Amino acid sequence: MAYSLTLKDHIANPRNAGELADGNAIGEGTNPVCGDRLKLFLRIADGRVTATRFLAYGCPPTIACGSALTELINGKSVDELRTISRKDLVDAVGGLPARKQHAAALAIETLQRAIALSFG
């Protein structure tokens, strides 16, 4: 399985890893088939993301997508968050093998769940 250097870098140096004690939008996603898990923490103030953290368990693309997603959403408005696509995330990790596309899907679903839970 060939992974991009960007993806590998997210594995070796995950961005914004951990939990956010004062997060006000939290999403959790699980792939029921393979058991991959992603937990996303956002702090949103005045309609914008001011801090993000993530926890992930699973194959490298799942971890990399969680890490890259936190970079992608930082500073964005809630409306902008709703427009982030799977493709944006796949591009942000330098591409994903065809068999690993589900990792990006899980991350986007987790983000949408976090927004829906807090902002409807």
Partner 1 sequence: MTNPRRVYLDHSATTPVDSRVVEAMLPYLTEKFGNASSVHLFGQEARAAVDRARRDVAALIGSRANELVFVSGGTEANNLAIQGVSESAASHGRHIITSTIEHPSVRGICDALEKKGWDITRLPVYEDGVVRVGDLENALRPDTVLVTVMLANNEIGTIQPIEEIGRVVKEARASGRRHLRFHTDAVQAAGRIPIDVEKLGVDLLSLSAHKLYAPKGTGALFVRSGTRLTPQNIGGHQERERRAGTESVPAIVAFGTAAKLAAAEMSERSHHDASLRDLFETRIAASIDNIVWNGSRTARLPHLSNISFRFIEGEGLLINLDMHGIAVSTGSACSSGTLEPSPVILALGRNMEVARGSIRFSFGKDNTEEDVERVLGVLSQAVERLRQLSPLNKPLQTAIAD
Which positions touch partner 1 (CB under 8 A)?
A: 1, 3, 8, 11-12, 14, 17-18, 28, 31, 33-39, 54-60, 63, 99-102
What residues contact residue 7 under an 8 Å CB cut-off, 6+ apart?
60, 61, 64, 93, 94, 95, 96
Compute the least distance from the CB of residue 120 to partner 1, in Å: 25
Compute the least distance from the CB of residue 85 to partner 1, in Å: 18
- What's the token pair of residue 55? 């926890």
52, 53, 33: which is closest to 106 by C-alpha? 33
Residue (18 or 47) nearer to partner 1, CB: 18
Residue (32 or 120) nearer to partner 1, CB: 32
Residue (1 or 45) nearer to partner 1, CB: 1
Question: In this structure, what DSSP letter does residue 13 have?
Answer: S
